[in-house]
Each structure stands twice: as C-alpha cells, then as structure tokens.
Amino acid sequence: MEDRVKAKYDVIIGLEVHAQLNTQSKIFNSDSTAFGNKPNANISEITLAHPGTLPKLNKKALEYAIKMGLACQSTISREMIFDRKNYFYPDSPKGYQITQDRTPVCVGGQLVITKSTGEKRAIQLNRIHLEEDAGKSIHLDGEEDSLIDFNRSGVPLIEIVTEPVIHTSENAQALLTEIRRLVRYLEICDGNMEEGSLRCDANISIMPKGATEFGKKVEIKNMNSIKSVGKAIDFEIDRQIGLVEKGVSIASETRDFNAETGVTTGMRTKEELNDYRYFPDPDLSPVHVSEEWLAEIEAQMPAMPWELLNKFIGEYGLPEYDANVLIDDKNTAVYFQDVCKYTHNFKAVSNWLMGPVKSYLNEKGLDITALKLSPEKLAELISLVEDNKVSFSIASQRLLPALVNTEKPVAALAKELNLIQVSDVRAIEEIVVNVLDAYPDKVKAYRSGKKGLLGMFVGEVMKRSKGKADPKIANELLINKLS
C-alpha cells in the first residue's frame, strides 16, 4: 500500500500478553504444570471441574504477579477478588474462566522500549491480572473429531494489558521483546513463545487523521513469535485501510493469523464485555496483601535490565552497544559481572563474551549456564592475552575449547599445549627473513607502494610460527626489514 494512503490514517494498537507462570502446580489446585507430559496426565477432579470440587489460590502465582507489577511500576492492589468470565469452549471444562475483572493485582504502570532509532518511549499499561489458562484443542488432518488435552487447563497466567497507545508494529514488537526479557529476569516465566508460555493478542483499529473516536477494534490471536506479531499487525493495518478506502465498514471481530501466508482470517465476531457476564467467584475468598509480605517480595527483586545497563556503562565503562548485548540475557549479565571480579579489563571481558564465548556456545547449542568454564578461568585467559603470552586467535580457537574440558590451570594448559607466544626477537626475526626471501616479488611490490601487503607478510609469519609469534614484534620487524 502506498505511503500517501497510509498517511491519511492514525493506527491504534493495544497488546494483551499472556505469560504462563513458572509455578510447579496450577493456580487453583496441586496438579503439575510440567510441559510436554502425555495428554491429560496433569489433571484431577478439580482441573476437570467435577461437582463439589473447590479451588484454592496458589500463593506463589500471586507473588509472581506482584513481582511483575513492581518491575512495571504498577500500583499493587492490597485487596482483590476473583471473578468468573463466562463462555463455553470445549477446552474450558468449567464453562467459565476464573480471572480478575474489577480488582486486578496490578493497576497501571509502564514499560520503556527502545525504538530502532535509539529513542526511548514509555508504553503505559492498563493492568496486570491473574487468571487460569484453558486446555488445548487438537485438530488432526483428515480426522472429523477434535481431541482435547486438559494438561494446560488451570496453569496460572498473568495477562499484561497495555493502554491503546502503540501506533506501529515496530513498537509492538519492541514491547513484546521487553516483556519477554523482563519475565525471564524475574524468573517467573520462561518466555518461550514456541511452546505457548508467552502469547500475544493484538487489538488494532484505524481512524482518519484528526478524528477523536477510535475505529472498530479487531483482535488478532494465535501469534507464536515476535516476528509474527509484527507481520500480523502490518497486514491488518493494510487490510483495514484498504476496506475503508473502498467504503466498506470494518467488522469488530477476532481474527486468526497464518504465519506461512502472512494473512489474517476471520474467526468470530467480537464479544462485548457484557457477553461474559462477569461476577465474583463465590468459591474463592477475597485476597489481602499485607504490607509485610509486599516488603518481602520487594526485597527479593533482582536488578532490572535498565539498572544493569546504567551500571555497565557507568561503572564498567562499556559502550552502550556492548551493555545492551550483555543485559539482553540475565545469565550472561551475571556471568559478565562475575568475571569482572577477577580483572579490570572490562571491555576485554565484554569482547570475549560477545565473540569467542558466544561462538563456542552457539556451536555447541548451549546456554551460558551450561558453560563449564569458571569466571576466574576466563579472567586468567584474558590476562594471558593481555600479557602477550598467548595470541588472541590461539586463545580463542584452541585454548578456550580445551579449558572447557579440564580442571588444569590456564597457564599450565597453554604451556602443555605449546601455545605460549614466542617473544624472542631473534627467533621471530629468523622467520621474518625466511618469509621475505620466499616472496621477493611481493617485497618489491610493497616497496613500490603497495603497503597493504604488510598484512599478508604478518599472516605468513604467524602461519610459519603456528600462531605463536608475537604479532606486534613480527609487525615491527617486517616494517623495518621492508623499509
């Protein structure tokens, strides 16, 4: 669609992000929440809503919801109740969902995103509330019947609801990325969208520039990646503008998104709030959050990503780019700080974690928590390179992988593997002379002005010394000889 047509409209987007909480049991009973078990293995009479069964709130789920609210600067409700949201789906055994309507755990708040331009922007939240997840309907190709797996039914969720203040798919993706990082920092959700533990619904409407009333809202569901959220929003914006441009009214509906085709399709007309017939759940007592318990939860809060960003830039002197890369993963940020206890070359630590260490982990398919290399040993490896005892290339390509599989001291292993750098000027000079004698034409070309050949000579010296020659000494000797 042409930009001039899009420019005639304002886009209004609100997100509803569901995060499954990392509790061991469900929100209202003791059934397991383990992912990947056989269908209908994690169920009981309470999950299946048999007559006479009663729910009991999981305190840990409430604690996790409060942690998210504290991280988002929300107001934490001290008194709250749970409500019944009435609708019938085959994978909802009760015929209603226990949720929070009038008294969410967390009210208001905000999250700050970083746009591609580097500009920061605060996205206002409406609420964060607790509720239970539904089961899962399974439709097999070629089968007339659907199968139901109730393992997920009753798993605790928090729903993070934004105000309708997002205007681009880019900002929506940035917010979802920040939420995923935050729940992982708080260790309340693993954030795996592929497994459905983090899910996003997007509400989208358009209105002519200058209008004061929002257009008809369309909700897109079933998006299992941040990339899909962006594509679905972009498609829906174009679809709605196209309809309005043709004089066709937009239906308020729920739509599905197909990640393969990049197209949204209608599922059902949008329910209104009164269709859900909310009313207080009579089986659950009102909840009181004491000041003492809230203070305990506040004391358990880890350092937030933005706090670490300021620390890494201010205290460790890292460039903003490095700091942003390191704080993207909490475990990497922790490992970085642990290594920095043993060295003051903080930039070198950052370079190693973003370079050789990351490459090694990617090659092995590992997370940094599975790296069998202590922070102290990595600091020793960095010191060996700093002291010109081992070249960076040798240290990263040969010594690093060897250290992972041994308890031997770094320096001792480097010596055992014959990796200690040669700093003997006479020994390196002999190699330099041999290299220059082997390439008389290149020497002549260099002296004729092709100074870029110096790198080739240095590389040849390093090759003949098996990477052990001090490159700085080799470089100086070559320049002197060639001059």
The confidence band for 270, taking pLDDT boundaries of 50, 70 and 90, is low
Last residue in a domain, options 381, 416, 451: 416
Burial of 98 (0-12, 13-18, 19+ CB in 10 A): buried
What the block records as the tokens of 373 is: 């290399």
Same domain, 475 and 433: yes
List Cα–Cα distances, 187 to 19, 193, 424, 445, in angstroms: 12, 15, 52, 61
**For the chain, how many structural domains are there in total?**
3
| pLDDT of 334 above 90 | yes
Taking only the tens place, the pLDDT of each residue in 362-404 is 999 999 999 999 999 999 999 999 988 888 888 999 899 999 9
**Inside any domain, residue 346:** yes
Same domain, 402 and 439: no
Which whole number is the average pLDDT over 328-351? 97
Taking only the tens place, the pLDDT of each residue in 416-430 is 888 887 665 777 777
Can you tell me the distance from the alpha carbon of 349 to that of 372, in angstroms, rounded to the nearest whole number? 17
Can you tell me the distance from the alpha carbon of 345 to that of 317, in angstroms, rounded to the nearest whole number? 10
Last residue in a domain, options 260, 292, 324: 292
**Inside any domain, residue 358:** yes
Same domain, 255 and 210: yes
Same domain, 284 and 401: no
Percent of the chain with pLDDT over 90: 71
Same domain, 449 and 391: no
Last residue in a domain, options 292, 323, 347: 292
**Inside any domain, residue 297:** no
Q: What is the per-residue pLDDT for 274?
A: 65
Taking only the tens place, the pLDDT of each residue in 309-320 is 999 999 999 999
Can you tell me the distance from the alpha carbon of 26 to that of 47, in angstroms, rounded to the nearest whole number? 9
Q: What is the per-residue pLDDT for 473?
A: 79
Q: What is the per-residue pLDDT for 474?
A: 79
Higher pLDDT, 88 or 188: 188
Same domain, 184 and 68: yes
Same domain, 345 and 207: no
Q: What is the per-residue pLDDT for 424?
A: 58
Q: Which of 173, 3, 157 is nearest to 65 (CA)?
A: 157
**Inside any domain, residue 298:** no
DSSP 48-100: TT-TT------HHHHHHHHHHHHHTTPEEPSEE--EEEE---TT-TTSEEEE-
- Run of H or E residues at 223: strand 218-223
Phi, psi torsion values for 125, nearest 5 degrees: -100, 150
Same domain, 39 and 142: yes
What the block records as the tokens of 447 is: 């002296």
Same domain, 275 and 392: no
pTM over 0.75: yes
CATH number at residue 470: 1.10.10.410
Same domain, 142 and 229: yes
Q: What is the per-residue pLDDT for 338?
A: 97
| pLDDT of 80 above 70 | yes
Same domain, 461 and 356: no
Higher pLDDT, 93 or 104: 104
Q: What is the per-residue pLDDT for 415?
A: 87
| pLDDT of 63 above 70 | yes
| pLDDT of 273 above 60 | no
**Inside any domain, residue 191:** yes
Same domain, 406 and 455: no
Query: 218 near 252, Cβ under 8 Å?
Result: yes
Structural domain harbouring 444: 425-482
What type of residue is 100? Q
